[in-house]
Amino acid sequence: MKSFLNFLFWFSLLCGCDSPRPGPTVIIPAATETIVGQDFFTFEKEALIVYDDGLKEAGLLLSLYSNRPTATKNNLTPLDAAVDFSIDNTLSEEQYNLNINQTGVSITSGTLKGALRAVQTFRLLMPEEFETPQSEKKAVALPYVSISDGPAFGYRGMHLDVSRHFFPVEFVKKYIDLMALLKFNVFHWHLTDDQGWRIEIDGFPKLNSIGSFRNETLIGHYNDTPAKYDGTAYGGYYSKDDIREVVEFARARGIEVIPEIDIPGHSSAILAAYPEFGCKDHADKVATTWGIFDAILCPKPETFAFLDAVFEEILPLFTSPYVHIGGDEAVKSRWQQCPNCQALMQRKGLKNEYELQVYFVQKVAEMLANKGKSIIGWDEILEGGLSDKATIMSWRGVEGGVAAAKSGMDAIMTPTSHCYFDYYQSEKENEPLAIGGFLPLEKVYEFNPIPEGLDEKESAHILGGQGNVWTEYLDSPQAVEYMAFPRMIALAEALWSGSKHKDFKNFAGRLERFKKRLDALDVNYANHLYEIKGAFDQSASVPSYTLSTSLEGQCIRFTTDGSNPTAHSTEYKKPIPISQNTIIKAVVFQGNTPVSGLFEQKILTHLGFGKTVVISPNPHSSYSSGGAKALTNGIDGSSKRFGDSEWLGFWGDDISITVDLGEETNVTSLSTRFFNSNGQWIYAPKSISVQADGQKPVVLTIKNENTLVSVQVPVHAVTRFLKIEVVGFGKIPDHLQGGGHPAWTFIDELKIE
């Protein structure tokens, strides 16, 4: 009889009845330790979820996701309770153990936060159909599994800018729920900026009636000329009830909401409503375009009283101990011309306007400390002196975080090189319009918040990392999702799992299966896993070009004659040698069916093609993916973007380059291109000089005009070596975007004829 019942049980599974066998276990972010058994447990329709005192909210959250009833644990609890939440005081705050076996599901954690993280893992063990709002309540087969887990970093944040474009509460909640699924624990809500004030304020109603709305919005990219506008008023703000709803929704998922009120710069919306809090004689408007403006709050008593009243009104809405006060990109030209500011500097013994900003930040920090809050600021608040009252958010690289940590201050790492999800994620020309840059999925996955050069004590001040979604070019929830996903998923694993799981190919395979859950959650994610990537083989003795995809084991078929690949074209097995002008086209096939877009790369050889290049200093780590060989590989950088693998970027440096042609060669000219996008701090250099062996350098002054600046330097010499000197633009003028900071230089292919 027992054998017959077992036969009926397995036959029912094969027939696809109420309790199918579990699918492949896909845990993202990867757990510290996962052991999967061979059998499974049936999670029945009316299975009971019980919990210790203090873990009720974890039980309720699991009930929400699984559609099962809950009960407080007591002596009358049925013996067949399916899920049991228990406290284990030996576990740290976010650690948990999750075990599924023949007796059911056991979840132990040290705190509620750990239990909430376990709920998200349990969610991943359930079929994707449970993510749909109207999922049918039915029995589910859960794999036997033993999971021990905990985070590598305590701060795992995602940011959302709602000032440039405003998003409804329902989308903000969806964004937070997706964060919870991926075990993020901080939502950084960027609520104010030049383009709009997004939070209800009773005491200063013009912040909403004026500051929350702009007359129109820029169409296209900031660098497009002439600028075009849509002519339509735009705006909105969250009511206090909206804020409470979002904060409670996040809290129930173990996520802290940190508001950002961006001051003293990025204040056009504030000063459009209340110009009296700025320096005198300025008529600011809510900004209709992007970038940086000279609108800045004046550090006078009236301004601090205004800020104190605003914070007094909004801080009760947020339970986080932190407030982000921005502090970035504060153009100080008005302070330089303001008699009140100059008099204040003299009274306080401040040497310059950077020290005046430190004074401003410290005043706000003291104000918020009196209200029980600590401040976070972008790394510019370090300029003019360190403020021990702040946590630093290092975005312009890792240098701000390193300086903070070495000074005993806490820091959160969010460098543009790895954490800015408004950058392009593919080099395909048909990608949606973005601010610029290039940040592919794999580079996000490689992120390690701990910079090199810190000892153990200093490293302890690096709290974690954060991904940022700025929305100048993201005007809908779908656009935000496309830019955030799947890069948010890669960052989640980098921050939760840390260096224990740095296997991108393994991650890509899990992500491919994870897409089913994203589909069920109706997430408009970018799908570049099958996209072909090309690169030169840096180790080959002759120039050779490689093709790859993020997913292992894919069949890539290619041509080199300019024709489109078919299912019968040559299959890529090894690097392709390049000795002449070549057009490579490639497609991923599964059988006879193409599953990727067309990859196309034009390679144009010249006298310097494949030759040795030495650069000093090295390109900035954020823009060095092509390495020195990017300058002589026969491939032009994008004409639209500065951040692809072909452009090399240098921040504030003059550049020395030596090209070794290998033998005496008759050279007539060297040509190259520089990117010139002043709104993004990128400037064509002042000059370029080229020197052949035994000759004087030929110097060419460069005009800072078009977005792409092409130069051709005559050489006319027989030489083995060419020495190129590029003199950078220097510091950006104070009245322009990035004023006072070094300008970036971006250089393209060095074509030698």
Which of 63, 114, 109 is CA-nearest to residue 86?
109
Active site residue 324: no
Q: CA 510 to CA 644: how far, in whole Å?
A: 26
Active site residue 188: no
The CA-atom distances, in angstroms, between 675 and each of 1, 186, 341, 569, 642 are: 79, 36, 37, 37, 6
Half-sphere CA count of 740, side-chain side, radius 13 A: 17
Assign 3-class secondary structure to 90-113. CCCCCCEEEEEECCEEEEEECCHH
Among 52, 94, 128, 193, the one annotated catalytic:
193
Active site residue 266: yes
Q: CA 118 to CA 367: how far, in whole Å?
A: 38
Among 190, 266, 418, 501, the one annotated catalytic:
266
Q: One-letter amino acid identity for 259?
A: P
Among 262, 329, 383, 422, the one annotated catalytic:
329
Q: Is 247 helix (H, G, I), strand (E, B) or coil?
A: helix
Q: Is 311 helix (H, G, I), strand (E, B) or coil?
A: helix
Which of 625, 641, 634, 578 is CA-nearest to residue 607?
634
H or E element: which one contains 302?
helix 301-314
Contacts 24+ apart (CB under 8 A), 270-273: 270/192, 270/197, 270/207, 270/211, 270/295, 270/297, 271/295, 271/297, 272/210, 272/211, 273/197, 273/204, 273/206, 273/207, 273/209, 273/210, 273/211
Which of 730, 724, 718 is CA-nearest to residue 748?
724
Would you list the DSSP string of 331-398? --HHHHH-HHHHHHHHHHT--SHHHHHHHHHHHHHHHHHTTT-EEEEEGGGGTTS--TTEEEEE-SSS
- Which position has the token pair 């699924």? 181
Q: CA 436 to CA 173: how far, in whole Å?
A: 28
DSSP-derived letter for residue 432 is P
Alpha helices in 436-476 (DSSP H): 441-445, 456-459
Which of 435, 466, 464, 467 is CA-nearest to residue 450?
464
For residue 375 the two structure tokens come to 């401040």
**Cβ-Cβ contacts under 8 Å for 186 (sequence gap 6 or more):** 155, 156, 157, 158, 255, 256, 257, 258, 466
Q: Are 47 and 68 in contact (CB under 8 A)?
A: yes
- Which of the residues are catalytic? 193, 266, 329
